[in-house]
Chains A and B, each alone.
Chain A
Amino acid sequence: MIHMRRRLAVVQVLLAVLLAVVTARLWQVQVVRGAQYAAAATETRTRDVVVPAVRGQILDSAGRPLVRNRTTLVVSVDRTKLGRMKDRGAAVMARLASVLGRDPKDLALRLRPCDARVSRPCWAGSPHQPIPVDADVDTPEALQILERQEMFPGVTAEVQAVRDHPVGGAAVQALGYLQPVTKEELERRQGLKAEFSGVDMAGRDGLESVYDQELRGTPGWRRVQVDRLGRVLGVEHEVRGTAGHTLITSIDAKVQAVAERAIAEAMKAAPKADGAAAVVLDARTSRVLALASAPSYDPAVWAGGIGEEEYGRLLSGRSGQPLVSRAIKGEFAPGSTFKMSSVAAMFKAGYPMNGHYNCPGSFMVGSRAFRNFRGRSLGSMTLHTALVKSCDTIFYKAAYEQWLKDGGLEPKGRPREVMAKTARAFGFGRPTGVDLPGESPGRIPDRAWKKRTWAATKDVNCRRAKEGYRDVAKTDAGRAAFLTRLAHENCLEGYRLRPGDAANFSIGQGDVLVTPLQLASAYAALVTDGRLRSPRLGWMLVRPDGTRVREITVPVRGTLPVSAAERAYITRALSQVASDGTAAGAFTGFPMKKVRIGGKTGTAEVYGKADTSWFASFAPVDDPRFVVVAMVSQGGLGSAAAAPAVRKIYEGIYGFTPKGKPAPAALPDRVPAARPPMIKQDGTLAW
């Protein structure tokens, strides 16, 4: 027994030592390194989920929604999970395609990550987020995916909010669209970056893009507890997001619809027309009531990732680039609509307001004869009549005289360039600053511009002058010779503003380019207080409960270099165009006694194409409340395509039938809305 007791004593000591070791190790694991293990545990036990805020609505000036949110079942695919499968998820995708009734190839294309070489359809978002492949799923289909998860690993169907355009295609180019946020955008974005959900979208164009920050709201954030299979057990911590602000715009859905219909019909009527735009401004405030561009498209294509075919169609030249808003991005020669700037320049140069000017059939500018429209001689007239009847030669003469005064081909010192300067003061040649992205600046071809262009092109021109146009010569020897001569001329003296350039400039031809919005903005300044403003579509930002965030003001960006009397003179002249002038035909039967329309037609020649048709207008003439500009590219005469479109817009605004009989008016008060609609706490409209 003595051996046994001795050995038991050893066992006892051994036990005590082992228990002490275990205790020491527990101290180390739980107390010394406890925090570290706790952090690791939290990481495995929880998932941080960003809960996107409800995106704000976009309303029109009467509170009607232009863009709102609609819930739909969105089917998304987790590419990482598919990639881990033996067949890279091919079987799952095949099943999914058959359930959704889609082409498996199309689905596969949507899962590719976008890069420089891979174009749409592809996935521009983060590679770690589920990719929505179908945003408008019928419930039975999605339920099948949810119920038989074992058949669809990596595929989820969830209720998500997508953008809805209740008024169909109204103002699509102005409203813009959403696309999944890209990695670069996300990195620029402040705040939550860790993980974001598959519905995180960013505005890509139009108001959605400009007011993206305000519309988006602040996303919420939720830390959910998950089990080892990733099933959510509960919410551990939640920071609630705030919904995006509602953007109230000055767009009037009805006026917008009228404008879109008018330009669509104008395009149909003009066989060669390849694009059109219409702008309706509140004349006094320069708030935009309608901004239409044709051809247009159905904004529903953006929901749930756009297909290759659709995207290709939207971008192709054959479809007329429906994504591009011609109202702010289309640059066209303005033709005679530009003459109000030239008249203003003549006043500035000292031509008397009540003088009489001869309007011959043609005028010799240097060695070249510049002819009136159809070469007609109209005799002696005032500038008023020159505008009404659209005489060209009076402006050629004035422009030539000013060009000579500036020093002709080789000016000494700084030339005055009164025509170009006045045009710039009317806002041409620079963006209007409208609250839309990607606006074009247009072009005012002054002497400096000529120099810049010559510097940029002279190498090519000089080479062409030497080598000629052999490629063109194969088909058209005469044209090749002309081009070679032109290249030679441009190479040698392209930096000079030639007298012909100056003459063309005065009637809005040659190298002058303007956008429809620039023209509308200039007319608004001319016919009201002479202040040039940056047009605005956004009017007011309010919270979903109706409380005001801020009003979007319309900045004044300049004053016209014309006195009130001179403005009144030009306005008076333009007031007669629709009744007695070039647009009289287009307005036959319009009840001018009830609403008198003023304006100016424009017919701009484009080399190799049909003329650009313009009509810039305002109404009523004695106290202008609206400025309406229509442009039909390759539409022909201003009085033939654009003026009838403008007439239809006025008929819609004021409520007239084509025969002049009363009809329901788009704006019952016949004036633009004075203030944005009030929204009550529950989100409904208050009047």
Chain B
Amino acid sequence: MVNRVIAAADRSFARRAVGAASPVWRVDGVLAVAVAALAVISVLMVWSSTRTWAPGSTGLVKKHVLNLGVGAALAVAVTAVDHRTVRAYAPLVYAAALLGLILVITPVGAEVNGAHSWIMLGGGFAFQPSEFAKLGLVLMLAMLLAQPAEGGDRPRGPDVVVALVVAAVTMGLVMLQPDFGTTMVLGVITGAALVLSGIRKRWLVLLVLAVAAAGAAVWRLDVLEPYQVARFTAFLDPSTDPRGVGYNSTQSLNAVGSGRLFGKGLFGGGQTMGRFVPEQHTDFVFTVVGEEFGFLGSVTVVMLLGVVLLRGVRIARRCGDRFGTLAAGSIVCWLAFQTIVNVGMTIGIMPITGLPLPFVSYGGTATFANMLAIGLLQAIHLRSRTF
């Protein structure tokens, strides 16, 4: 309710300036403000974590601001489009994402940190198709599950099978890179889409059993790389290898914990400056938040992310059509999974996984994908009063 009051105040103030009739005032202001706040924090955090790389090092921050700007533009553009039009193009978007995933495992793709997940565009710009695959899969599954082949209000067997095939193809391609974290996100998206589409409970039980069996098989058949197993054991007991895999976990806990209640202040984080936590501008950006802004700052960031997610749920619930609801719900689950896993791994309640923190981590493609997702949520929101 507070949200609504803020949003209303926000609106009444600005309405006088822009004009009451503009459709701009019907977007979800709370969602927009929360994302904007996260973007500002994100710039500060990327700046803080990269400024010691070299004297006067601002290259990455500038690039990050540019990424956010482009992302915002994309979001605005998508907001302007009716999501039912988007639905019509879903197969195209999905096909493009698949093409990207195929390209990336061919020699066109570049290997970074042991995974073939990048397409170098030259000029220091690179593109990560798996981030777009998340969005592509969201749209494709929403389209498939929103209009059951035999009509009715819930998907039946054939729809589920088709959806599973589509998901399996996408996940398989990402597995080939290999990118375990993104594969899990795709799995979460698939699960969310299936559950939210209203499939029967017996299907759900079957799916849960299948996932469990697959998990067991993966574990038994050594499909996982040894480092992935090690990350998991290190998560269960970080002291097993404090210099190796346990190092990330120990160092990120030290960084977050040493922020204490109020933090050490922006640019005041010694652990950040010493770069003790690896990947601290991307996957471990939350350690910078924790160290420099303390408990209060960390909770603020978590709450802002919570606002984004809960506003997403609200949009999904208020949407009148199945496609909109499904797409919004899947987006929320995707972002929620990344948020919980990412924050969780920096505070030792999740295993180390290479997933960025939505809206805060540095990363062009991920920023674009996240912003597009927000744009899609806004588009759905704008056109949700159909019932």
Contacts and interface: CB of A to CB of B under 8 A. Distances in A.
A22 B340 contact: yes
Interface in B169-210: 192, 195-198
Given A25-B347, A30-B290, A41-B270, A4 B257 contact: no
Contacts of B196: 4, 7-8, 11
Interface string B351-382: 00000000000000000000000000000000
Interface string A1-43: 1111101110110011011011101110111011111101110
Contacts of B275: 227-228
Contact of B259 (A18, A34, A44, A228): A34
B258 A34 contact: yes
A26 B299 contact: yes
Contacts of B322: 1, 4
A15 B299 contact: no
Interface string B286-299: 00001000110011
A584 interface: no
Contacts of B333: 11
A233 interface: yes
Interface residues of A, number: 41
A225 interface: yes
Interface of B is mostly: helix
Query: Which of B253, B275, B295, B336: most chain A Cβ within 10 A?
Result: B295
Contact of A1 (B153, B251, B270, B302): B153
A225 B274 contact: yes
A9 B195 CA distance: 12
Nearest to B305: A19
B51 interface: no
Contacts of B258: 34, 37-38, 40-42
Interface in B65-83: none
Interface stretch (B2-10, B33-41, B116-124, B308-316): B308-316
Contacts of B329: 4, 8, 11
B147 interface: no
A226 interface: yes
A225 B257 CA distance: 18
A430 B253 CA distance: 67
A68 interface: no
Interface residues of B, number: 50
Contacts, number: 144
Contact of A8 (B154, B325, B336): B325
B327 to A, nearest CB: 12
A348 interface: no
A9 B317 CA distance: 8
Contacts of B332: 11, 15
Contact of B198 (A4, A9, A236): A4
A541 B324 CA distance: 89
Given A34-B258, A41-B254, A18 B153 contact: no
A485 interface: no
Interface string A574-605: 00000000000000000000000000000000
Contact of B197 (A4, A16, A31): A4
A45 interface: yes
A149 B155 CA distance: 66
Please classify the interface of chain A as helix (H, G, I), strand (E, B), loop, or mixed, using the class held by over half of its residues. Answer: helix
A23 B302 contact: yes
Interface string A41-52: 110111000000
Given A1-B322, A37-B257, A40-B254, A225 B336 contact: no
Contacts of A46: 270
A423 to B, nearest CB: 71
B253 A29 contact: yes
Contact of B274 (A2, A27, A233): A233
A30 B310 CA distance: 25
B276 interface: yes
Contacts of B198: 3-4, 7
A7 B195 contact: yes
Given A31-B295, A44-B276, A225 B316 contact: no
B271 A45 contact: yes
Contacts of B274: 44-45, 225-228, 233
Contacts of B259: 30, 34
A228 B52 CA distance: 13
Contacts of A11: 192, 196, 313, 329, 332-333
B273 A227 contact: yes
Interface in B316-334: 316-317, 322, 325-326, 329, 332-333
Contacts of A25: 344, 347-349
B261 A34 contact: yes
A18 B343 CA distance: 11
Contacts of A41: 254-255, 257-258, 270-271, 276
B245 interface: no
A19 B261 contact: no
Of listed A15, A16, A36, residue having the most chain B CB within 10 A: A15
Contact of B347 (A1, A8, A22): A22
B306 interface: yes
A46 B276 CA distance: 12
B30 interface: no
B154 A30 contact: no
B156 interface: no
Given A25-B349, A26-B299, A44-B276, A37 B256 contact: yes
A15 B313 contact: yes
Contacts of B290: 26, 29-30
A655 B275 CA distance: 71
Contacts of B63: none
Contacts of A22: 302, 340, 343-344, 347, 349
The 9 A-B pairs of least Cβ separation, nearest first, read A37-B257, A3-B198, A34-B260, A38-B258, A41-B258, A30-B295, A227-B274, A41-B254, A19-B306
Interface of A: 1-5, 7-9, 11-12, 15-16, 18-19, 21-23, 25-27, 29-31, 33-38, 40-42, 44-46, 225-228, 233, 236
23 contacts: A3-B153, A4-B197, A5-B325, A8-B313, A11-B192, A12-B313, A15-B310, A22-B343, A22-B347, A26-B295, A26-B302, A29-B257, A29-B348, A30-B260, A34-B295, A35-B260, A36-B257, A37-B256, A44-B274, A44-B276, A45-B270, A227-B275, A233-B52
